Structure 1
Amino acid sequence: MHKFNLFTAGKKLEDAKKVLILLHGRGGSAEDIISLSGYLDVEEYALLAPQATNNTWYPYSFMAKPNENEPWLSSALDIVGEAVKVATNAGIPKEQIYFAGFSQGACLTLEYVTRNAAQYGGVAAFTGGLIGDKIYRDNYTGDFNGTKVFIGTSNPDPHVPVERVYATANILKEMKADVTEKVYENMGHTINQDEINTANSLIFGNNV
C-alpha cells in the first residue's frame, strides 16, 4: 500500500497559520503539484504534498467500481488523512486547512473532503469528481458549513465526464458547501489560466 511520503514547501508549519494540501495526478509527483502553488496566492501557506507509491493513487479509472480500486483507494484516503493530521498536530485548525488537486488528485481530494465534511479553508479541484461507478451517497456525511469549493473541468474531458462533475457539485451543495463549478469547452486535460484566477479569487486570494 501507499507509504506516507510527505513533501513540504512554503512557510514552515510552525510559522504558518494556513496549510494547503496538494494532491498530484496519475503519473505525476508531489514536486509536480507543488509547482502549481507558484500560480496560486498561497505565499503565506505551509504546503504539504504526499507522494503516491508508483505515482498513482489507485490503479483504475475513478469511474470503476470502488472495490476494483481497493485496497489502494482506501490507502490513498488514509494518506490524505495523515497529511491533515500533520497540520492539525501543528495547531492548524481545519478551518485553515485548504486542499487542491489535479485529475486523479482532484478526484481523491473531493472524495476525502466529502467523506470527512467539515468547515475547511477551501477546496480547489482541477478536473475531478467523486469516485465510483456511481455516487455512493451513504459514504458522505458531515456539514461543510459554507466551505468554498471550486471545480473546473473540460467538456469533453477524456477521463472525467462532465455529468459526474455536476453530480459531485450537487452532493457538496447538499452538504452545505459553497460550490462554484466551471466547464470549459474543449479545454483538454489541463489547467487553464481562468481556473487559476477563479481559484485565487474564490479560495485563496482573499485569505492571504
Structure 2
Amino acid sequence: MYSHSKKIISSGIPLNEAKKAIIMLHGRGASADSIISLAGQLNVDDFAILAPQATNNSWYPYSFLAPVEQNQPALDSALQLIDDLVHEVQETGIPLHKIYFLGFSQGACLALEYTARHAAPYGGVIAFTGGLIGDQIRPENYTGDFVHTPVFISTGDPDPHVPVSRVEKSVEILEKLNAEVSLRVYSGRPHTIQFQELDLANKLILV
C-alpha cells in the first residue's frame, strides 16, 4: 500500500494569473501528461490546468468496487492530495465556483468521490466513465450542497470496469446533494473517451 507524493503537472494560464482552474485526474496505468493532453480538445484556453500524478500510476490498488478498506491508505491519500490542491487554488484567489474537475476511469471515480464528499458550488465536474467508490455506497459519507453544480457523466454499456448500475446509483446520490447531472450511456462503447463525450463536456460544463 502506498501514499501519494505531490507531483502536479500544470499547463494553460499560470495559476497566479488565472481566474478559473481545472483539476484533471488520470486513469489507472496512465499519467498526468496523458490526461492533460485532452486540454487541446476542451474549452479551457483561459484556465489554469492542474494534473496530479498518482504514485505508481494508480490512485488506489484494487477495483473501485472493492471494499474501501482494501484500497487504503492509497484512497485517502489521493483524496487528501486533491483537497490540498483545491485549497492551494483557493489561496491564489480562485473561488470554488471557478474550480472544475475532470477525470477518466479511475480518475473519474476519484473526481466523483472527492466532490460528493465535499459537495459545494463548483464550476463543474466531468467524469468520463466513473462512479462513487466502494463495495457499497454509503450515503453518510457524502455531505454538503452542490447548489446546482453541473455534472457530466458518460460511460459505456457494458463497460469492463464500471457497471452502469453503479453509475446510475451515483447519479442518485449526486442529485440528492443538488447537483445538476447529465448522464450519457453509450451502447457498446469501448473503455475510452469518444469525441462526442468531449463535445458534450464542452457544451454542458465548459461553457
- Partner AA of 2:97 in structure 1: E
Cα separation, 2, equivalents of 1:154 and 1:127: 7
User: What are structure 1's unaligned runs of at least 5 residues?
Assistant: none
Cα deviation for residue 134 of structure 1 reads 1.1
Does the CA-based 8 Å contact 1:96-1:120 persist in structure 2? yes
- Partner AA of 2:102 in structure 1: A
- Partner AA of 2:150 in structure 1: K
Match of 1:129 in 2: 131
Match of 2:177 in 1: 175
- Partner AA of 1:78 in structure 2: Q
Is 1:116 aligned with 2:103? no
Is 1:161 aligned with 2:163? yes
Match of 2:40 in 1: 38
Cα separation, 2, equivalents of 1:71 and 1:136: 18
Secondary structure (helix, strand or coil) at the match of 1:49 reads strand
State the TM-score, normalized to the length of structure 2: 0.98
Cα deviation for residue 32 of structure 1 reads 0.5
Cα deviation for residue 38 of structure 1 reads 1.1
Give the counterpart of 1:145 among 144, 147, 153: 147
- Partner AA of 1:92 in structure 2: I
User: What are structure 2's unaligned runs of at least 5 residues?
Assistant: none
Does the CA-based 8 Å contact 1:110-1:129 persist in structure 2? yes
Paired residues, number: 205
Does the CA-based 8 Å contact 1:6-1:83 persist in structure 2? no
Q: CA RMSD in A?
A: 0.6
Is 1:65 aligned with 2:70? no
Runs of at least 4 residues of structure 1 off by over 3 A? none
Cα separation, 2, equivalents of 1:112 and 1:79: 10
Once the two structures are superposed, what CA deviation does each residue of 1:119-171 show, in whole Å capped at 9, x if it has no partner? 00000000000000010111000000000000000000000000000000111
Identity %: 55
- Partner AA of 1:105 in structure 2: G
Cα deviation for residue 85 of structure 1 reads 1.6
Match of 1:6 in 2: 8
Cα deviation for residue 4 of structure 1 reads 1.0
State the TM-score, normalized to the length of structure 1: 0.98
